[in-house]
Structures are given as structure tokens and as C-alpha cells.
Amino acid sequence: MILSLLKKITEFSILGYTDPVDRGCLLGATWLGDDPQIARMAEGKTLVGVLGIGSIRAADVQRRKSLFDYLRSLKIGMPPLVSPAAIVNEGVDRGDGLVAMDGVVVHTGTILGEAVILNTRCSVDHDCHIGGFTHIAPGAVVCGDVRIGFGCLIGAGSVICPGCQIGDECIIGAGAVVTRDCTEAGTYVGVPARKVA
């Protein structure tokens, strides 16, 4: 998905991708080795990096955060990447490493933290604050004036009602409807959403 997005954003040339496993040529991009190879490639060059690790578990969030910090230590830029098929309105603060996929809509007054993933056709209404390393899954709806903490997963097709607060490291299950604050870390499912783990 990231490679497909990068091919739509013509200001970048794709050098290749890193991964612990050689997956061969992906969409015309060459495997460059594992992540430690990035330091060698970055010597004397100006590079831009994009995180291609989704966040569906706490371990994924920590892996993304570690890689983000590693790239930053190498002075590799991580500009926000927004699909040309997304709508991010004026007055939205975009954190480094943001990835916004096709069909995403984000309204004015919203703050998007570092390395936020806005997946296919999700929407974030006005004056929201989305914490760093949070993943909003396909088709999720975040209504106005919502606060979401660090490292959360907002599941596919879920709805976060206006003014609700989601604490750090919360998982909102697919299809859940959050009608009140979910401030304690854990997993929330159902309509209305209730903590189950």
C-alpha cells in the first residue's frame, strides 16, 4: 500500500524498501536488505523514509516507534504523505511520518501526531487531536472534537461520537460505537463500546 501511494506522489523517486525478509521486487521496488542497511544507504545522501508497518498490536506500535526514532537519528526526513485521492482541509496540523490513504477526509482544526496512519476511506472531523502512532482503520468515523491518545487502533467501521476521549494504547474493535470516554488502556468492543480486556 505504501509503495502504491508513493507512486502516486510524483515528487519522490523510490530507491527501494527494507524488510527483515526478502520479498523480491514489489511494485517495481527493489529489496535493499533489513532495516540496519538504512544507515549505510544514508551516508552522504538526503533520503526520505516512510514507515510501512501497520499498527494492529502493541508490539507493532513499539516497532514503528523504534524505526521512526532510528530514521530520525540518521537525519532521514519523514514528511507527511497524503494520497492525491484524500481530502485534508486547510488548517490541519500534519505530524512527521503521517500516512493518509485513498478516500481519507480530515477537517479543519485537527492535529495529527507523528506517524499516524489514516487508512482507506476513514474520516476525521473538525478539531480532533489524534495522538502519535495511532492507526485509524478503513472506514472508521471519528466525529468532531475527539481526543485520541498515543498508539491506539481505531478499528475498521467503528464510530467515535463527538467529544469522546480515547486514552493511550486503546483498541477500539471493528464496528464498535464509542459513546463515552474510553480512557483506560485496553480493548473496547460493541454498541455501545465496552471494555473487554
Q: What pLDDT score was predicted for residue 192?
A: 98
Residue range 22-48, pLDDT digits in tens: 989 999 999 999 988 899 888 888 889
Give the model's pLDDT for residue 88. 97
What per-residue confidence (pLDDT) applies to 107?
Answer: 98
Look up the pTM and report it: 0.94
Q: Round the CA-based radius of gyration of the chain to a whole number and report it.
A: 17
Residue 69 to residue 65: CA distance in whole angstroms: 6
The neighbouring-strand residues paired with 93 are: 111
What is the arithmetic mean of pLDDT over 155-171?
A: 97
150 has a pLDDT exceeding 80? yes
Active site residues: 126
Residues of the chain with CATH 2.160.10.10: 81-187
pLDDT of 178 > 80? The answer is: yes
DSSP class of 111: E
Grid cell 476511506 is found at: 121
Q: Out of 23-27, 55-59, 78-82, 96-100, which region has the weakest mean confidence (pLDDT)? A: 55-59
Instruction: Supply the pLDDT for residue 42.
Output: 86
In angstroms, the CA 65 to CA 115 distance is 8
Q: Is the peptide bond before 192 cis (omega within 30 degrees of 0)?
A: yes
Please give the pLDDT value at position 152. Answer: 97
- The predicted pLDDT at position 73 comes to 93
pLDDT value of position 126? 98
Residue type for position 79? P
CATH of domain 81-187: 2.160.10.10
Which pLDDT band holds residue 158 (cuts at 50, 70, 90)?
A: very high
Percent of the chain whose predicted confidence (pLDDT) is above 70: 100
Q: What mean pLDDT value characterizes the chain?
A: 94
Chain segment 104-118, per-residue pLDDT in tens: 999 999 999 999 999
Measured between alpha carbons, how far is 130 from 197 in angstroms, rounded to an integer?
Answer: 22
